[in-house]
Structure formats: structure tokens, C-alpha cells
Structure 1
Amino acid sequence: MKRRTFVGAIGGGAALGLAGCLTQDGDGSSDSNGDPEPEELDLSGTLEVVTYESMLDGDNPAGPWLKEAFEEEYPDAELEWTQLPDQGINHYIQRGEQDDIDADVYFGLNVDDLVSVDDNLEEGGLFRELNRDRIDRSSRVRDGLDMGDPHDRVLPYDTGYISLVYDENEVDEPTTFDDLTEAVYEDALLAQNAQSSDPGQAFLLWTIDAFGEDGYLDYWRDLRENGVRVLEDWSESYNGAYMNEERPMVVSYSTDQVFADEFGYDFARHQIAFLNDQGYANPEGMAIFEGATSVDLAYEFLDFALSNDAQAEIAERNVQFPAVEDEHVDLGDEFDQYAHVPPEAVTVGYDDLRGNLDEWVDDWAREFASQ
């Protein structure tokens, strides 16, 4: 199995710039494929955008801000959010088979979702091939966030790095994956279900990257012997079990201290651990459904989401890194200080995931989904 390895570095105000040093397959050039630009744009009517719950609800979500700002810029348009069903991308894969999708844009897509689409539908399906010439700001996306889609259906709007968050009053910093199987970390770790959670699946793929497809299940058996607790999703594991101090360590994001600083939490319980000096890169993207009715508005929304103001608001409210080069976005000293980039960022790429992802997750779930 190949591994796409991205190199960055930790460091305060330099973090965003260094995240931009990630390398990507190909030359990153933009072809003028996809939807041709019409002679006259139709920028009126309703744009239906599908996204996940935390984009819409919770503490200071980005969704309401994006709606208000987009409608202010396009006064003849209305942005209507639709919350992603519990089945996630599988809901739209099933509806895509029946050609029964009313939405225009999917906001919150990752490479694993694209692979699920192409493993279950005709390759290149569900979403439109993008014409990058219709998205002026697409050229500002930092190198390394290309999701490897050979059909160019998705643009990233932010990125995060999966890491561990731990309480230094309860446990020492784990430095390797093998550390987590030692007695000193018995009954310490909270993880998420790889079938239903993006960070849960990312952590699973990180272990596959570390131990290979022939060794990752054995590693998870060692974790189980050492008492790992797998909960359904990130909210249940982090906002619930971890914040209620049920355990001293949780799979989460390397921007956790930004969140802790905002709410005045004790930093002792919000320390970041990069296993093997790595973090798992997990960019989020946006795509236009094949059957979109408001195509012109959809293109304008993708471009709008990459604007300076939108990128800053998404990054700060999602507590993630922006997708565009950092000279375009001012996130403030606190973000620069507390948002950490791993020394090495890794991900399992599209080509390696194709034809393997479902099997890997299913094999894992049979043994570990209900720990």
C-alpha cells in the first residue's frame, strides 16, 4: 500500500504557512472542464446546501453566518441549509441510484466520501466535474489539499489534523501508537466509531497507514485489550465522555487549544499529542450535485466560501485551518498560537482507498464498533 506523506512543522504564528507546504500529486493546474459558463448568470432563487450538524448548531456555528453573508452579497438568492442525515454520504449514494436528490451543494465532503461514492456508483458520479474557471478564488487554495479526485468534483474549504487530546494531570504524553497499548494507558483512550464518525474513520485510517492493511486489526485488538472505549461519534466522545472527565485521552483535533482558550478551559486537560510525530490530515470539501437546479448560484457559493471573510469565519467557528493560503486570512494571534500543525502530516489517498475502504471499515466494525 502506498502512502502519501505530507511534511509540515509545528510553530506558533508560522503554523498556517507551513501547512501550505504540503505536497500534492500532479501539478495542481486547472483545466477548463466541467460546466461551461452561460452567457447570462441566473443568481436568483433558492440554493439548497447540505451540511453536517455542527455547521448549523452548537456554539457559534459557521452556517448561520455563511447564510446571512451570502444572501447579503446575492440579494435575489436564498441559501437554505439541509442537515446531513445520520447515514451521511450513504444517504445520497442511495438516492443517487434513484436519481432522487433535490439539493444543489454538498458542504462537508472528504476523500473517504468520494471513494464511497465511486465504489458504490458509477465512477465520477453524484457530483459535477467543476469548471475551475468559474471559481476565481480556487487558485488560492493551498498546495496539498487536493483530494486526489481524478474527476475534479470537489474543492476544499478547510482542513484539520487528527491527533490525541489528553489531560497531563492524569497521563504523560503518548509519543507512539505502541504507547497506547501499554499498561500505563489502560482504560485511558476514547475513540469514535469508524462507520459513523469522520474523526473515527480518520483515526482508523491513520492506524492502517501506521501498521498496514495486514496489521491494523492486530493493533486494534491490542487497544481493546488495553481498554479503548469506542463511542458513536465525536460529540459523544469529546463533548460527552471526555469533557465529563470519564477518561483522560480522546481522539480529536490539533486545534483543540483554540477551543480551550476561547472558553477559558484549563490547558492541562487540553494538551495535544502527535503519535509518531504525525497527525492525520483531513480536509473538508464542497461539491455540486449532478442534478443541481441552481447551478450558477452553486458556483458562486463555492467561490464565496473561499473569500477572505468566509475563510476566516469558517476556520474560527469550525476551529480548523483555512483552505486558502494564509496571507489571505487574518485569524488573530490566539489561533496562530494555539492551532498546532504536526511535524509530519499523513493521509491515505484516493487511489489507495478505492476498492478497499468499505472492506477495511467493515472488518474493523465486526470486532470493534461496540467496544
Structure 2
Amino acid sequence: MRRRTFLKAAGASGASALLAGCTGTGGESTTTEQSGGATGTTTTQGTTTGGESPTLTIGTYGPFVDTVSSSPGPWLKDQFESEFDATLKWQTPDSGVNHYIERSHRGVESGADLYVGLDAQMLVRIDENLDGELFTPTEGLSHSGDVNEELEFDPKGRAVPYDTGYVSIVYNETLGDDGAFTAPKTFDELLKPEFEGTLLAQNPTSSGTGKAFLLHTIDAKGEDGYLDYWAKLKENGVRVLGGWEPAYNAYSKGEAPMVVSYSTDQVYAAESGEDMAKHQIRFLNDQGYANPEGMATFADAANPELATEFMDFMLRPEVQAEIAVRNVAFPATTTAELPADFAKYAHEPPEAVTFSYDRLKGNLSDWTDAWEQEFASK
């Protein structure tokens, strides 16, 4: 979720722990007094009107709103306010959704109506750490039938997907012998001697992309085989860094010809006029790990009906297309049409792989803990 900020700062050639939230700045920063004397900093865009119009307060992660020209947030605010008799106010607390979890722990109201930016892994963590419900089931959406069923990730019906990304291998074919490096096509091929020391990955205990890649290996090799597979990856020289940003930075410097990243990498490269040979996409086993993002209404929302209207607005075809382009992702619905120049460089895998909430619940911590015990401390 911090990719946009990094790539704009470093150039296309040049995610944090779950529930730690994403960081970003923009709008007006305010510090508020919270229950028990604690303070927390939140970043908001938009102000409450003094008239009769209601205010819809939406929590999200910083990069969703902090760049006026390209982030979805400012555009969504303008469009929503132009059609509805309401004011939209964004909240971007430094700790993301964890801000609202901590408030719930202390018995303090959320202070928002909706959260945008949830995924299945976050919901599992939330439900494992809170006794009550932070979010409420969603009902009454006229566009709910347009959502791709493969992207649905909340069996309790709280979170509704609004976009998705696919974690894949990005590779630089100019770094091979005679400028002809070709990435492996399968997980098994990745273990061959010719690919020794060629892959940069991320720690799954501190990185969203790292966790997605780990889950993909679990899907490919099974719960009983993924640690053995990682042991072989280690023997073959995989380099595991703390997060996406340092891994991609190392890749950009030519330290390795492959990095675990996103299948929309060429979108950034094209915008920056980069050599596309340095931004090739490989879906191992012809698969990409999907990590859909969703939105959900807080259980204590002051304006739940308005929150439902906004969620339905987010699922409209033209809004879905705009979100995808601005967030450099894919729509969650089957009705959105992407611009031709964007679709040319945003690659979808032949097959999407993702773990459902039910598969992750009770397993996610065990899988990551086992990986950490086996590899992170050695």
C-alpha cells in the first residue's frame, strides 16, 4: 500500500505488518484527546458542514487519499458530494485500522462510519483480538451482484470487495547472460541451480506481499510441504528482506533479476518511460495470489444508511474503473471497463489463488509463526 509513494519518490526503476496500518500524509493533521488520556494523530480530508447535510466519515490508509492528482480518495469525495446531499470526510490514522481496534479495546466509539482498505487477513486478526464486532453485515446494495464471487472474502458479509491486486514475480530480462534472463515458470523450476540467488522476497511476518507469497507457496506445496519448499529456496539463495520497499529498491539497483511484487508493475514503468524489459511479469504455475481490498460499515456508525449508499456508489462500473486506475489495481466487479492504455500494462493471471477467511482463521498465525521460527532467526 505504500508502493505509490515509494515509486514516485525513487522512480519506477529506482506493506507493513498486518494491522499496523499504512502510513501516509496529506490533508490536515489533527491530534485528538482519546479515552484514558491517550492521544492519537489522524489525517483528515474534508470538513463537516455547518448546515443540515450529514457528514460521512470514512477511515482508510494514507496513500488512498494523500495524492490529489492520482489517489482515489479526493476524486471519490468530489464525485460523491456532487451527487449526494452529504459531506465526505476522510480519516487516515497513522496506524490504519489498528487505530479503531485500539479504540474498541478501550470501549471508545470508532468515530467513523466506514472503513476502506480491509482484507481477509486483517479480518482474521480483528476477530481473533476483539470480543465484539467492529463491523456490521452489509445489506441493501443494488450492485452487490456485480462483485466477482472469487474475490468475496468475508463469510460474515461485513466486508465488500472494491478492488484487488495480484502478487507475482517481476523480473529484469536484461540481467541475464547476453541480456536474456528468463524467469522460471513454476515453483519447482525456481529451485533449479540456474536460478540460485536470483530472487528477492519479503518477510511474511512484516510484509503484505511477503505474506501473500508465503500463502501462495502453501497453496502450491500444502501445509505439510511449504516449510520444506522454503528450506530449498533458502539453499538456492533466496534473499528475504523486511518489506516490499527495501526488496524493490534492491531489485531496482540490479542486485537480483527477480522480486516478489505486483502484476501491475508495468503500469508504473510505462508512466515513467521505463524500459519494459526491466519490468516483465511472471505468474508462477500460471497463478497470481489475489489480495482483494474491501470496505465495511462500523457497528457503531452514526450514519449507516449513508455508508451503504457510499458502498453502492463505489461498486458502480464507472467508479470501479476510476478506482482501479488511480489505485493501480483491478476492479472487484465484473461490469467495469478499464481504459485500453491501462489494461495493456495491468496483467491478470490465468488463474487467481487466494485463501478464504475460513481457511485463514485458526491457521494464519500458525503458518507465519512456523515460518519465522524456521527461517527468520537463522
TM-score, normalised relative to structure 2: 0.77
Q: How does 1:136-151 map to 2 (within 5 A)?
A: 136-147=142-153, 149-151=154-156
State the SS of the aligned residue for 1:279: strand
1:274 aligns with 2:283: yes
Q: Supply the distance in 2 between the matched residues of 1:366 and 1:48 (Cα, whole angstroms).
A: 41
State the SS of the aligned residue for 1:268: helix
One of 170, 184, 188 as aligned partner of 1:174: 184
Q: Supply the distance in 2 between the matched residues of 1:70 and 1:237 (Cα, whole angstroms).
A: 37
Change (3 A) 1:53 1:189: farther
1:213 aligns with 2:220: no
Deviations 1:276-310 (A, max 9, x none): 12111221111111122232322122112112332
Identity %: 53
One of 145, 150, 161 as aligned partner of 1:156: 161
Query: Match of 1:233, as an amino acid?
Result: G
State the SS of the aligned residue for 1:144: helix
1:364 aligns with 2:342: no
Query: Match of 2:70, as an amino acid?
Result: N
Q: How many angstroms does 1:203 deviate by?
A: 0.9
Q: Supply the distance in 1 between the matched residues of 2:187 and 2:158 (Cα, whole angstroms).
A: 34
2:118 corresponds to: 109
2:355 corresponds to: 348
Query: Match of 1:241, as an amino acid?
Result: A
Q: How does 1:215-364 map to 2 (within 5 A)?
A: 215-238=225-248, 240-326=249-335, 329-364=336-371
2:61 corresponds to: 52
State the SS of the aligned residue for 1:293: coil
Contact in 2 for aligned 1:142/1:325 (Cα 8 Å): yes
Q: Supply the distance in 1 between the matched residues of 2:245 and 2:81 (Cα, whole angstroms).
A: 30
Contact in 2 for aligned 1:46/1:80 (Cα 8 Å): no
State the SS of the aligned residue for 2:342: helix
Contact in 2 for aligned 1:116/1:357 (Cα 8 Å): no
Q: Supply the distance in 2 between the matched residues of 1:84 and 1:367 (Cα, whole angstroms).
A: 32
Contact in 2 for aligned 1:230/1:368 (Cα 8 Å): no
Deviations 1:153-210 (A, max 9, x none): 0110011221101011223121111233333222222222322322221111111111
Query: Match of 2:84, as an amino acid?
Result: Y
Deviates more, 1:339-348 or 1:353-362: 339-348
Deviations 1:106-128 (A, max 9, x none): 211111112222233348x2110
Task: State the number of aligned residues.
Answer: 321
* Structure number with higher relative contact order (C-alpha < 8 Å, ≥ 6 residues apart): 1
Contact in 1 for aligned 2:269/2:276 (Cα 8 Å): yes
State the SS of the aligned residue for 2:325: helix
Provide the alpha-carbon RMSD of the alignment. Answer: 2.4
Q: How many angstroms does 1:89 deviate by?
A: 4.6
Q: Supply the distance in 1 between the matched residues of 2:362 and 2:219 (Cα, whole angstroms).
A: 16
2:88 corresponds to: 78
Deviations 1:45-65 (A, max 9, x none): 433322223323468222222
Q: Supply the distance in 2 between the matched residues of 1:225 and 1:332 (Cα, whole angstroms).
A: 43
Q: Supply the distance in 1 between the matched residues of 2:72 and 2:287 (Cα, whole angstroms).
A: 28
1:129 corresponds to: 137
Deviations 1:317-365 (A, max 9, x none): 1221111223xx3322123322222222222222221111111112223
Q: Supply the distance in 2 between the matched residues of 1:314 and 1:43 (Cα, whole angstroms).
A: 29
Contact in 1 for aligned 2:247/2:259 (Cα 8 Å): yes
Q: Supply the distance in 1 between the matched residues of 2:231 and 2:100 (Cα, whole angstroms).
A: 33
Q: How many angstroms does 1:43 deviate by?
A: 8.6
2:104 corresponds to: 96
Q: Supply the distance in 2 between the matched residues of 1:102 and 1:300 (Cα, whole angstroms).
A: 19
Q: Supply the distance in 2 between the matched residues of 1:139 and 1:192 (Cα, whole angstroms).
A: 35
TM-score, normalised relative to structure 1: 0.79
Q: Which runs of 5+ in 2 are unaligned?
A: 1-50, 176-180
Q: Supply the distance in 2 between the matched residues of 1:92 and 1:206 (Cα, whole angstroms).
A: 29
State the SS of the aligned residue for 2:151: coil
Q: Supply the distance in 1 between the matched residues of 2:112 and 2:255 (Cα, whole angstroms).
A: 40
State the SS of the aligned residue for 2:183: coil
Contact in 2 for aligned 1:231/1:370 (Cα 8 Å): no
State the SS of the aligned residue for 1:156: strand
State the SS of the aligned residue for 2:74: helix
